[in-house]
Amino acid sequence: MYDSVLRRLLFLLPPGMAHSLALAALGPVERLAWLRRAVRSAMRVERDERITVRVLGLDFSSPVGLAGGFDKEARRPRALAALGFGHLELGTVTAHAQIANPRPNLFRLPADRALINRLGFPNGGAQRVAAGLREARGHVPVPMGVSIGKSRVVPADDVDAVVRDYVASFDAVRDAADFVVANVSSPNTIGLRAMQGREHARALLSALAARRGPTTRLLVKMAPDLDDGQIEDLLAVVAEIGIDGVIATNTTVSRDGLVTPEARVRAIGAGGLSGPPLRARALQVVRRVRARLGPKAIVIGVGGVETAEHAMALVRGGANLVQMYTGFVYGGPATPGRIARDLARMVEREGAPNIGALVGVERAP
């Protein structure tokens, strides 16, 4: 139904308008418990021990979560959980409230089933978002994470100021979320990706780690565009400080391998590309992160997930959990539940006790 009718109608609208309309449509589901139960039933969202994941001291009913960027202000966590996501990454939020980057800032590439965005981090500020999450938290049946980023007003070349800005956001959200993600990899905030360098990352992540409470989990989200040396620098800091996990990866600035005509891509301009064109690189980075950090690290794989096969490839590459955003936009509201059910069948065919037994177990070519 979604693929044949509703998506076509939504795709007649500008991407930003369609996104706002989708969030508005989830409003009643967010507010009404009986409607959430009805949605879960309609989406066939049921717990299945074959795909239950227990990591970070948390219980994930499915390895398939929602990536950061879809619900930037954490307005619809109850509704999104009802659709079948096993966890939610909300935000990215910043210490200072800020508007989106100038429009147009969101673009579809239907031939590639991809998106390009240069939204920045539009949000009402970490304090405001955290207040809303505290009200919702007891009513959201899946783990909730909040992504934090640099406020636009903070100069990127003042590392001490950047660290203080992240710390302010971290302090605001840490008791409202099950985990906090330090987003140092968005391409849409000037200078942000420099925080992935060894010294900058050490300054930031050590400051955040020092403020963790006994139940605060801290993860870092990395870019797919780092070279091998840059990946090693960042992961060395992660290992040194004892960060709880890594999310691999954010959107890419690469435009390689697109089907969309080059003239169209050039006309769109800057922004982070997400969706299937990122899939192969995301898997490469997941494998590298797992190899570097070892079996005990928590790795969340993101990039081009549209089917259970895509999710399982990331799991076999070393991801404990996976996330999706663009695949959800193109696939529709039934997508997370469908992938979860298909994953359960795949686990059964493998003869594995659960999906956790397949993490990092690559198939022979």
Q: What CATH code is carried by the domain that includes residue 96? A: 3.20.20.70
Asked whether residue 192 is assigned to any structural domain, the reply reads: yes
Q: How far is CA 24 from CA 20, 75, 142, in A?
A: 6, 10, 21
Asked whether residue 365 is assigned to any structural domain, the reply reads: no
Helix 228-241 vs helix 198-209: angle between axes, to the nearest 10 degrees?
Answer: 30
Largest CA distance in the chain: 53
Asked whether residue 358 is assigned to any structural domain, the reply reads: no
- For residues 58 and 178, is the Cβ–Cβ distance under 8 A? yes
Percentage of the residues of the chain whose pLDDT score is greater than 70: 98
Domain range spanning residue 281? 2-349
Q: Residue 334's closest CA among 89, 82, 115? A: 82
Asked whether the predicted pLDDT for residue 5 surpasses 80, the reply is no
- pLDDT band, residue 363 (cuts 50/70/90): confident
Cis peptide before 104 (omega within 30 of 0): yes
Q: Provide the annotated active-site residues.
A: 186
Residue 280, SS3 per DSSP = helix
> 0.75 cut: is pTM over it?
yes
Asked whether residue 42 is assigned to any structural domain, the reply reads: yes
Write the pLDDT tens digit of every residue in 210-267.
999 888 999 999 999 999 999 999 999 999 999 999 999 999 999 999 999 999 999 9
Report CA Rg, the chain.
19
Asked whether residue 252 is assigned to any structural domain, the reply reads: yes
Asked whether residue 132 is assigned to any structural domain, the reply reads: yes
Domain count of the fold of the chain: 1
What average pLDDT does the structure give for the chain? 96
Asked whether residue 360 is assigned to any structural domain, the reply reads: no
